[in-house]
Each structure stands twice: as structure tokens, then as C-alpha cells.
Structure 1
Amino acid sequence: MPAPVAPQDLIQALQPLPMAPSAISELAPTVLQTKKTDNVIDNGTAAVGKEPTPLEAISHGAVMPGIPTFPSYTEHRKHILVHMAATFRYFARHGFTEGQSGHISVRDPEHHGYMWMNPLGVHFGLLTAGHMICMEIETGKIVGGGKPAQSLTANAAGYLIHSAIHKRRPGDIHAICHAHTDAGRAWSVFARPLDMLSQDICNFHNAHAVYASYGGIVFASDEGERIADALGARNKGAILMNHGLLTVGATVDEAGFMFGLLDRGCRHQLQVEAAAANGHLKKNIITDEEAAYNFKMASEENALYREAQPDLEYEFAMAGGEEVLAKGFDALQFFTSS
């Protein structure tokens, strides 16, 4: 006859077994939890009562670094253009291409009246820092690049859109992304903003616009101005009806990450609308209060810079190293004095 089992042994036997690491969910709750404010470290000392930054709140242990600083404009410019090239390669990998359509611009860190854009007709997946063209924001004059000015060609419609936005918001916008994606174009025909259907899309809570008009291919400055009007003074993105998507950021990293997020948000919205079309399924939308908190904790420029790094580091690795995407940078020059 088996020996009797002690009550405490029976209780222990009934406890659930520990889950394998691969079975543990890493999804965060809808409302992000912040750390206790009395444990925040400021320059190596405790800052009692200070609210944690988004990067402090999300980091368990060492705080992840935000936007880097540089000892010279040349090094800063190289970082920007290399990350711009990596963002284009990310776009290519995710199918954000349509012939010669699509463009990214970044404001020069030294000459704030200049912006860098991609050349017309070069596939996003082939771009390096040395391909980029520098233009004067006010006039469109080509003022820099790796070839003689007369042999460089940028997208005319791109210049009209990007220059209008850069001129409107010189203080907070330093990068702009625009492309014609499948999901973006599909959702744009409804001329509706996105619902807050997921934690991630809350990065656009009260921060994306709809340009509910279509003025054809942008060959005149007034259409660029109308797109800038729709984007407004604080939005991070815009859905352009019958056209595509546009996002902005303090860095090209932020603008690129937000572009991918906006495209995925359009795809998710289309999927949800299709699933709910028969009227039997109810959409559960995140409340304004929860969405506003998520936006506050996840949409700060250093946090969004950091969000982009895994995808960009993957592009560096796939290209054979970050220096591969820096190809041609040393040959870039300004054709006119500032």
C-alpha cells in the first residue's frame, strides 16, 4: 500500500509547472506602467518625485540611450544620411515602393535652410548616403551631392510637399517620409482617420490627420501647401486620400518608424472592418484616456528614435555593415556657400 501523501506535498504537486521561456508572453498591458518616481536616477543621483522619461519607464535595468549627439556637423550629417539610407532599405524590404514614387527628406544639421532627399529613379533598396541630394528648402535649388549639380535629379512633387512642411514646422520637424503603400492607399479612399484599435497605434492618438481631397500629382506648390495645411501644427502623420501616407519626426529614425506603424495601422483597420462587416462582431476601441496615456509614454522623440533601431540595425547587418550604407558620403559636397 502506498505511503500517505502529506497535505503540504499535495499542495506543492498541484502547483502549475513553470512555463518554458518560449511560452511566456512579452506583450505589455494596454496602459503602460511607469516606475516609482522616487527611484529615478538623474545624472547618477536619485531624483525624488521626478516623473520618469519614457525610456526610463520602459527600461528594466540600464536605461536605453536616446538620440545621440556628435562632436562635429560632419559626423552628425553622416549619421543622418546613413540612417536615411537604412530607412529606405527598410521601406524596400516591406514593399513601400511604386516605380519612382516615394521620398524621404531630412533637414541638414548645420545648414537648417537645406534638406537632403533621395534621387529620382533609384530603387530604395540600393540607396546609400552618397546618393542623397541637398536642396535649398526655400527655392529648390540643388546645393549639394556627390555629382555635379547639373547631373542630379530629385522628385519635383517630393520637393513641393517636403519644402512646404519643412517651412511650416522648422522647430519640430527634421524628417519627412512619404510613399504609396498598398494598405495606406486602400484605407485612404475612405478619407477617415484610424481608430485606436491597438496599443501601438496610440502613437497616433489625436496626432494624425486626413487630407480629404485629391488634387492630382503634385506639380504645383499649392497642392503641397494644402497637404501642409492638413498636417497642421502638431500631427505626426497624415493619410492622403487616393494617394498614400506621410509621417514626420524629429529624426529620420522616428519618421521612418512612424511610417511603418501608420501603414500597419491602415492594414489592421482594413482587416478589422472586414471582420466586423456582418455586424456580429463588436469593435472594442481603446478609450481616449488610455490612448492619451499610451501616447504620452511612447511618442516622445527619444523613445521613437529607439523604436526604429532594431529594424535599422537589421538593415545594416543585411547590407554587410553600417559602413556599406555610408558609401559615397566622403564624396558629398556643397556646391554653394551657406
Structure 2
Amino acid sequence: MTTTEGLRPAYLAGTHTGLPIPSRPTFDRVDDERRHRKQRLAAALRIFGRYGFGEGISGHISVRDPEHPDRFWVNPFGVSFRLVTVGDLICVDDTGRVVEGRHAVNPSAFVIHSRIHALNPGAEAAAHAHTTHSRALGTLGRLLEPMDQESAAFYQDQVLYTDYQGPSVTVEQGADIAERLGDKRAILLTYHGLITVGGSIEEAVHWFITYDSCAQVQLLVAAAGVGKVMSHEQAVAAKDGFGDAQLSRFSFQLLYDEIVRDEPDLLDEGAGRH
């Protein structure tokens, strides 16, 4: 390929970002797609554990069931991020009933995730944890500013939620959070933590990890002085690349490959020891 006008240079792939990223996998059988989503959910939870996102019983990641859109898979109550396996995951319906799995559901996980999945058909997955950096940024009442390419992924695509009323254990609270989130990528909960969503489990988890690291950068900049943020045009240009869904999915895949190599037991579909 030449650099003739209208044609891409030879070094760019035929993707939106020009990066040689493989397409999203497709499945002939719903069981295969369900296993794929569950494996990545278990891996995502282990990755959260590796990043230190665990906070006792708090934190949960969900992914919609590919056959029953009113159900979602989520980590069970009382099992550490660092220990969860595919066999530990539970499937919950829109009433809060565990329809598959032997563990109980965290009430907070149900009221938040069920409303997000119900109100946003495009939210295939949602991730939530009480991380140090997101809690600090939320206490300041500030959202991410476009201070670098990564933070620009959330430019005009995030919401600050300030109506804290204690732990989220009622459906009304979950619905209010989901409604405020709308079709945005992230919602920062003051005095609480962070929620990110995506069109795949890979996207939701990548956005969460990225948001938390960007929050750390912003806090470091604030401690050092006054940082210079991007212009609107720069932020839009950066978001076009670093906010790309295909890029986020593949970025997660690299973490998936690492965690499966290091902790292959996470793929165990048996009853497990918990």
C-alpha cells in the first residue's frame, strides 16, 4: 500500500486506530459464549485482586448472560478477588434470585448492577470497587480532567454522583445511580467508589483500571502544583484513539493472558473449595 491520498500507509492496519487489533470473537453456540464471558469475568476479578482493588466484602464485576438478557453473572458474596474461580460465579435474575451457583449475592451488587443492565441495553458489563484513588478524587468532588491521553478516554463521558445516602442496598438507590450514569462510560460516587461500564466485560474492566490510574495521576499533579490540561481539540483527538472500544478490549486481553498463565486455577469450573 502506498501513501496515495485516500489510502492508508502500509504501516497502519485496517482498524479505527490503525493498530493491528483482532476482531471481537464470535460464537456458534451460546454455551461457548457464556463460558467465554465467565472466564473473562473470573480473570477480571483476579486482576482486580492483583491491583489491590479488594476492600473486604466490597466490590463486584458483572457481565450480562448471552442467552437471558435479564440475568447477569457476578462474583459471589464473601469470596476474595484473589481466590475466585469460574465455578464460584453466580447468575442472578432481575428479582435478585440466584438462578445458578451455590453462593449468595451481595445485595449491593444486585441493586447496582441489575439497574445498570436493565436501563442501559448497551452495558454488557459493569465494574465497581472502592479504590483508594477513586475515593480520594470523589471526596474532592472532581472528575477526571484531560491531563494525558489515557484520561482523555473519559472526556465528556463521566458523571459525578454526590447524593450519598449510605451503603447501596435498596433498588431505589441502584436505580438512581444507573439513571445518573445514563449512557456514560463512568460514574464516580462521592464517599463511595467508582463504576465503569462497557459493551463487553473487557471494556468495562479496562476502563476501570485506566480511570483509577488516571485518578492517581491527577492527585499527584494536584499535590505537585497546577497541571496544564489539554485543550478541547486535543482531548477529543486523544479520546478518538485511547477511548476506542476495540483498543480497550485488546488491552484487557493482554492482562487476561498474564493472569491465566500465572493463575490457571481461575478457570476451574468445578465446585471449588470456597
TM norm. shorter chain > 0.5: yes
State the Cα distance separating 1:205 from its structure 2 match: 0.8
Query: In the alignment, is the contact (CA less than 8 A) between 1:173 and 1:250 conserved in 2?
Result: yes
User: Any idea what SS the aligned residue of 2:25 has?
Assistant: coil
Residues 1:284 and 2:228 aligned together? yes
Residues 1:89 and 2:46 aligned together? yes
Q: Give the corresponding residue for 2:192.
A: 243
1:68-217 to 2 correspondence within 5 Å?
Answer: 68-137=25-94, 139-145=95-101, 147=102, 152-170=103-121, 172-217=122-167
Q: Give the corresponding residue for 1:298.
A: 242
User: What is the CA–CA distance in structure 1 between the aligned matches of 2:92 and 2:190, rounded to whole Å?
Assistant: 28
State the Cα distance separating 1:94 from its structure 2 match: 0.8
1:201-280 to 2 correspondence within 5 Å?
Answer: 201-232=151-182, 234-276=183-225
State the Cα distance separating 1:309 from its structure 2 match: 1.3
Query: In the alignment, is the contact (CA less than 8 A) between 1:54 and 1:298 conserved in 2?
Result: no
Residues 1:39 and 2:8 aligned together? yes
Q: Which amino acid aligns with 1:135?
A: V
State the Cα distance separating 1:307 from its structure 2 match: 1.4
TM-score (norm 2): 0.92
TM-score (norm 1): 0.75
Q: Which amino acid aligns with 2:52?
A: G
Quick one: percent identity of the two aligned structures?
33
State the Cα distance separating 1:79 from its structure 2 match: 0.9
Bigger Cα Rg: 1
Q: Where does structure 1 lack aligned partners over 5 or more consecutive residues?
A: 1-34, 42-50, 277-281, 332-338
1:187-215 deviation per Cα after TM superposition (whole angstroms, max 9, x unaligned): 11012111100111111111111101211
Q: Give the corresponding residue for 2:252.
A: 308
State the Cα distance separating 1:327 from its structure 2 match: 0.9
Q: Which amino acid aligns with 2:167?
A: I
User: What is the CA–CA distance in structure 1 between the aligned matches of 2:97 and 2:49, rounded to whole Å?
Assistant: 28
State the Cα distance separating 1:228 from its structure 2 match: 1.1
Q: Which amino acid aligns with 1:238?
A: I
Q: Which amino acid aligns with 2:171?
A: S
Q: Where does structure 2 lack aligned partners over 5 or more consecutive residues?
A: none
User: What is the CA–CA distance in structure 1 between the aligned matches of 2:89 and 2:5, rounded to whole Å?
Assistant: 45
Q: Which amino acid aligns with 1:39?
A: R
State the Cα distance separating 1:325 from its structure 2 match: 2.5
Q: RMSD between aligned alpha carbons? A: 2.0
Query: In the alignment, is the contact (CA less than 8 A) between 1:37 and 1:52 conserved in 2?
Result: no
1:254-298 deviation per Cα after TM superposition (whole angstroms, max 9, x unaligned): 11111011111111111111111xxxxx42111111211222233
State the Cα distance separating 1:101 from its structure 2 match: 0.2
User: What is the CA–CA distance in structure 1 between the aligned matches of 2:134 and 2:5, rounded to whole Å?
Assistant: 39
State the Cα distance separating 1:36 from its structure 2 match: 6.7
User: Any idea what SS the aligned residue of 1:143 has?
Assistant: strand
Q: Which amino acid aligns with 1:291?
A: A
Query: In the alignment, is the contact (CA less than 8 A) between 2:73 and 2:90 conserved in 1?
Result: yes
1:43-65 deviation per Cα after TM superposition (whole angstroms, max 9, x unaligned): xxxxxxxx95324x1x2xxx320
Number of residue pairs aligned between Structure 1 and Structure 2? 267
Query: In the alignment, is the contact (CA less than 8 A) between 2:149 and 2:239 conserved in 1?
Result: no
Query: In the alignment, is the contact (CA less than 8 A) between 1:202 and 1:294 conserved in 2?
Result: yes
